[in-house]
Structure 1
Amino acid sequence: MLTGLMQPRPLTIAHLVERLEQLFAHKTVATAGTERVTYAEVADHARRLATVLDDLDVPVGARVATFASNNRRHLELYLAVPATKRVLHTLNIRLSAEHLEYIVDHAEDDVVFVERALLPRIWPSAERLSRVRHWIVLPDDSDAAVPADPRVLDYDELVAGAAPYRGCLEDAFAAEEENLAAGLCYTSGTTGPPKGVLYSHRSTMLHCLGTLAAGLVGIAESDVVMPIVPMFHANAWGLPYGAMLAGAALVLPGPSAEPEHLLSLMARERVTLAAAVPTVWTSLLPRLDDHDLSGLRMLLGGGAAVPASLSEAYRARVGLPLTHSWGMTEVSPVGAIGGTRSRHAGAAEEEQVAVRAAQGQPMPLVRLRLSDVEDGHEPPRDGRSIGELQVAGPWVASGYFRVEATDAFTEDGWLRTGDLATIDGEGYVRLADRMKDLIKSGGEWISSVELEAAIASHPDVAEVAVVARPDPRWGERPIAYVVLREGSATSADDLARHVSPLVARWWLPDEFVFMPVLPKTGTGKLSKSALRARTA
């Protein structure tokens, strides 16, 4: 065996600090339309935070939690915490107190950085979180009360009073230390207690490079990137790290997800790439025509299947479809990206729409395969044969933090996703359903994803979710929960007539239930578990 003669330099997030200073110091980070700082300032604050963490005696390897929205100070923590060999633990700000307390305690967080406006959400739990030594408040324009407690410190005061760490943070890492933990993110816990996914420096940097791959996301220095997806959720799909590596400007929307706020930011900052879950893109659709979005080159949707009707509505209105991204917290989180290839340029419109409706093709270094749910064999890649989607790669989890979950992985180490999918001859993945969301009626399977897509194609449907209801004769029958667009008088009969030509007759929902809003999870996805509980 002949070993290559290359330098064993580690892949670490610390590399980003010096890169920002030396190459992109003048580029900017805008927060909520009210603040703009340069990457030079972000890097300086990250260096000062390195000193702050040392002064607070935060041990190497300690979990440092953040409870914050998408803002500049949160971005500084994205750099400083892992660059000093601590572990960035982003907390979901929409979780219940019970889940928050479980996660902070399970992670054994040493410090919590919390946005002032969010203090009332987490401070009542402080006495039950005895392992947390410091609560550091990130200032904002709110007037939330700050407790007079010696454990509570002010972020800006600490940063201003600290000398910046001098020298190259990257040089503090030995080659083997690229596998040190860098980030921790917990799953939603919809099928049991939340489970922690522990990212390494190596996995994060490789995923970061993946977001720069041309022909997929392809973040470039000329981009203006706006992650609407929360920074507490799987590193905002890796977009902040990717933007900083490429030198792209960042636009962080702050705590507001109001459509007017988001669209105004996108127009004013000339955003080129934005990413959000489908429910957010649905909420923006009615106001698209009021804003100049001509700067856009890509709109990413993920976290749930993007209905083809929604994607094509964006293509008609702003000239760009919503591009699928598929992934999971365990996949850092992006595993596949949608979109057409060069060979589709001359294809018929119907074929192009079908390709755009796929979840996409795997990112570089990511491997995908199917496994038959009955006998475990690998189905053919013919675009028709369905199996459980399994994934492997250098930014895919190999286990969970302090939890045994051997059933989540195959004997040869692939992650079992729980998604049912097809893969075609060109490698495009199309989700059929989540295994737990399939509806078995009269011994035959109904795909909730396909049925939802058919219902969503009605122009008056804003949102839809299909779940199973127990049935004494058929075992299960589909029930559709629907949100109509404002002012619509569409009836259940209208929807049934619309869907009838699109699916098998026995797939038609037994009932259409109209709701003003559908329940959401903490990451903004539709909560089918809440609907199933309502339906049972």
Structure 2
Amino acid sequence: MLKTRVIPAAQNAYQYPLLIKSLLLSGSRYEKGREIVYRDTVRYSYATFNERVARLANVLTEAGVKAGDTVAVMDWDSHRYLECMFAIPMIGAVLHTINIRLSPEQILYTMNHADDRFVLVNSEFAALYQGIAGQLTTVEKTLLITDGADKTCTLPDCVGEYETLLAAASPRYAFPDFDENSVATTFYTTGTTGNPKGVYFTHRQLVLHTLAMAATIGSLDSIRLMGTDDVYMPITPMFHVHAWGVPYVATMLGVKQVYPGRYEPELLCKLIREEKVTFSHCVPTILQMMLNAASAKDHDFGGLKIIIGGSALNHALYDAAKARGIQLTAAYGMSETCPLISCGYLNEELCAGSEDERTTYRIKAGVPVPLVEAAIMDEHGRFHPADGESQGELVLRAPWLTQGYFREPEKGEELWAGGWMHTGDVATLDGMGFIDIRDRIKDVIKTGGEWLSSLELEDLISRHPSVREVAVVGVPDPQWGERPFALLVLRDGQALDAKALREHLKPFVEQGHINKWAIPSQIAVVTEVPKTSVGKLDKKRIRVDIAQWQEAGSAFLSTV
């Protein structure tokens, strides 16, 4: 080990731990009167928010929650969820954000696997919870969350109702110092094979991630997505990677926050309009859903800035949002990365370029944010040059990456093979530092000895004026190994067959964007593309559906 100079600290010097409680103190310091809003029913100041976090900490402590216990939450995006994101880890417990869109069997698995001791349950999920309660192995107590007038708790081992308990609790709590490497949060990935995998993050990791995200979205001039005068509303579930970590940033900065509860397109548009929301983040499918809402039809979203992640941002969606006054910025991350890894940034050279060039770079995965190292590696562990052409697996290092999978050490070793986190994404790096995600390794289409990017094909197909949504997968082919298959959702009153799609893609072949064998020879027009629980395209299910249609000789398949 390198021998460096270390000077002993003064005997009484305070060793400041990086704990989530430090993020809470800042917001009320800057803007005590700023509001935190829940739907169109609740609003209160940051001063009240801090008191409610202390009240919740007292409720949990008096109910027997101890440092190291895991406390699970089943709720929609709400002010209460935000309170849990602070109060639970600040007393030394671990917050488990349950993905309520998983199947009951998967929810049961994650709760038992995480050793949940205490569960906060929204009344809308009471029946779901009661259906699995008899098979839970570690849960000792529950607490009811409800928006309704009836505060009666019928959950097993229930200590009471959230608001009633908070009203009776003290608004002061002496949050202790402890090891910054203590686990603060855990949740489960939504892979399409096997059981969900548990990832976990420490206080230190979450604080560093918050600081890096604040610097990225608030200081880089070509992005400048959220400052203290913005109004923030998440459209990414709080159960999914802490709503991408932005609530911690917003709270630290004292930004006005709006929480929409269950995602209802009409209400989302209403809140954006009435609360004057200026910044949000979501996956492409959620943005498309919102843009198609009736109340969005004639609304000018001018001034709204949205980070798009989770799935690739294509030209068609970028242009559609821009036409409605929305500035989209692509970012990249995953459950295992807390999640922020990269975000779109245009340097002086790109800002001076054409509009098409700027758009091309805005929809890429972006440039690694501060403290992130990114590299491209081949299957033998060799690094590729950052030339914008050499493809390989994107591998990462950063101080906030999960250090493994909970109770699955062998999978953690696979994740961190060679000392780099393996993303499972095929990508390139260029000389300006831009990450360009070409595909998931498992979704690359291998045809005739060549690799085709399903993401690139989806982008090009989405530019057809009749296409509202598209998913491309590889399907078995006896001659070529695999051939691309396109699943399409069309705009109202539109029609498109495989021959017309071929004509649409021919110019991209002539321009050298794709090879001629990348053009799908078979498509299916459907009313909805299957999605995962977090709104991503479910390509495993799509492949199964296509195989069944082909076997049955379905009439709605179109072939050139």
Q: Does 1:513 align with 2:524?
A: yes
In structure 2, give the amino acid aligned to 1:90. T
Q: Is the 8 A contact 2:99 2:240 kept in 1?
A: yes
Which 5+ residue runs of structure 1 have no aligned equivalent? none
Offset at 1:93?
0.9
**Which residue of 1 is the match for residue 553 of structure 2?**
none
**Which residue of 2 is the match for residue 208 of structure 1?**
210
**Which residue of 2 is the match for residue 398 of structure 1?**
403
- SS of 1:452's equivalent in the other structure is helix
**Which residue of 1 is the match for residue 335 of structure 2?**
329
**Residues 175-234 of structure 1: per-residue CA shift (max 9 Å, x gap):** xx1110000011113232211111100100111111211115653211111111000000
Offset at 1:144?
11
**Higher mean C-alpha displacement, 269-278 vs 33-42:** 33-42
- SS of 1:179's equivalent in the other structure is coil
- SS of 1:61's equivalent in the other structure is coil
Q: Does 1:122 align with 2:129?
A: yes
Distance 1:444 1:149, change over 3 A: closer
**Which residue of 1 is the match for residue 289 of structure 2?**
283
Work out the CA distance in 1 between the residues paired with 2:52 and 2:425: 41
Distance 1:261 1:61, change over 3 A: same
**Which residue of 1 is the match for residue 471 of structure 2?**
465
Q: Is the 8 A contact 2:302 2:324 kept in 1?
A: no
**Higher mean C-alpha displacement, 474-483 vs 83-92:** 474-483
Offset at 1:461?
1.1
- SS of 1:416's equivalent in the other structure is strand
In structure 2, give the amino acid aligned to 1:395. W
Q: 5 Å matches for 1:429-508?
A: 429-502=435-508, 503-508=514-519
Q: 5 Å matches for 1:284-363?
A: 284-286=290-292, 288-296=296-304, 298-318=305-325, 320-363=326-369
Q: Is the 8 A contact 1:48 1:162 kept in 2?
A: yes
Work out the CA distance in 1 between the residues paired with 2:446 and 2:244: 33
Offset at 1:316?
2.7
Work out the CA distance in 2 between the residues paired with 1:106 and 1:249: 36
Which 5+ residue runs of structure 2 have no aligned equivalent? 509-513, 548-560
Offset at 1:131?
1.4
- SS of 1:227's equivalent in the other structure is coil
Offset at 1:453?
0.8
Work out the CA distance in 2 between the residues paired with 1:342 and 1:182: 39
Work out the CA distance in 1 between the residues paired with 2:186 and 2:448: 43
**Which residue of 1 is the match for residue 278 of structure 2?**
272
2:423 maps to which of 405, 412, 417: 417
Report how many aligned residue pairs link the two structures: 527
**Higher mean C-alpha displacement, 401-410 vs 122-131:** 401-410
2:93 maps to which of 86, 103, 118: 86
Q: Does 1:3 align with 2:6?
A: yes
Q: Is the 8 A contact 2:403 2:412 kept in 1?
A: no
**Higher mean C-alpha displacement, 466-475 vs 18-27:** 18-27
**Which residue of 2 is the match for residue 51 of structure 1?**
58
**Which residue of 2 is the match for residue 190 of structure 1?**
192
Work out the CA distance in 2 between the residues paired with 1:144 and 1:277: 35
TM-score by length of 1: 0.94
Offset at 1:238?
0.5
Offset at 1:308?
1.9
Offset at 1:411?
4.2
Work out the CA distance in 2 between the residues paired with 1:148 and 1:522: 25
TM-score by length of 2: 0.90
**Residues 423-481 of structure 1: per-residue CA shift (max 9 Å, x gap):** 00010000111000011112221111111111111122111111111112221111111
**Higher mean C-alpha displacement, 392-401 vs 216-225:** 216-225
- SS of 1:51's equivalent in the other structure is helix
Q: 5 Å matches for 1:147-226?
A: 147=154, 149-151=156-158, 153-167=160-174, 169=175, 172-174=176-178, 177-213=179-215, 214-215=219-220, 216=223, 219-226=226-233
2:414 maps to which of 387, 401, 408: 408
In structure 1, give the amino acid aligned to 2:6. T
Work out the CA distance in 2 between the residues paired with 1:509 and 1:349: 29
In structure 2, give the amino acid aligned to 1:302. G
Question: Structure 1: which 4+ aligned runs deviate by more than 6 Å?
Answer: 142-145
Work out the CA distance in 2 between the residues paired with 1:3 and 1:487: 71
Supply the RMSD in Å over aligned alpha carbons: 1.9
Q: 5 Å matches for 1:66-105?
A: 66-105=73-112
- SS of 2:432's equivalent in the other structure is coil
Work out the CA distance in 1 between the residues paired with 2:151 and 2:143: 14
**Residues 257-313 of structure 1: per-residue CA shift (max 9 Å, x gap):** 2322212211111111111110011122345452242342x2111111111221122
Q: Is the 8 A contact 1:310 1:322 kept in 2?
A: no
